[in-house]
């Protein structure tokens, strides 16, 4: 889904819950990005919060996960603010710009805010 400003309708970013696994897992992966010049203004944070609530409510997920590069301080602040906890580091986890990058693994469950 895209995140739009209420006034004017400008596209400010994207957020999604993907890779959903049902059965005994009931989990999904959180993805999001802000578009310039709207980064750092809180719009994506609001959208991500709504997506997490939707994942636990409408989608009935038990767990939402996020993988974040260690140097992405804005994303790390965002998931902390939303009650996610750091679970570890995955070395060489995602290939970005031709390089396998480490990522921190963060998660939140429906029944517990950390």
Nearest Cα neighbor of 93 from 64, 54, 67 is 67
* CATH 3.40.630.30 assigned to 2-109: yes
Average pLDDT over residues 2-19: 87
Asked whether 52 and 63 are in contact (CB, 8 A), the reply is no
Domain map of the chain by residue range?
2-109
Nearest Cα neighbor of 77 from 106, 47, 111 is 106
pLDDT of residue 84 exceeding 90: yes
Q: What is the pLDDT of residues 36-60, one digit of tens each?
A: 888 888 889 999 999 999 999 999 9
C-alpha 11/C-alpha 1 separation (Å) is: 11
pTM of the predicted protein model: 0.89
Question: What pLDDT does residue 4 have?
Answer: 77
């Amino acid at each position: 889904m895209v995140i739009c400003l209420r006034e004017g309708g400008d596209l400010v970013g994207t957020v999604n819950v993907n890779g959903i696994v049902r059965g005994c897992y009931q989990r999904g992966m959180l993805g999001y990005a802000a578009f310039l010049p709207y980064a750092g203004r809180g719009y994506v944070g609001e959208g991500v919060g709504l997506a997490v609530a939707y994942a636990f409510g409408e989608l009935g997920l038990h767990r939402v996960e996020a993988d974040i590069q260690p140097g992405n301080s804005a994303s790390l602040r965002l998931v902390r603010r939303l009650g996610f906890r750091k679970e570890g580091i995955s070395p060489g986890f995602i290939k970005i710009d031709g390089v396998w990058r480490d990522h921190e693994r963060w998660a939140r469950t429906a029944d517990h805010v950390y």
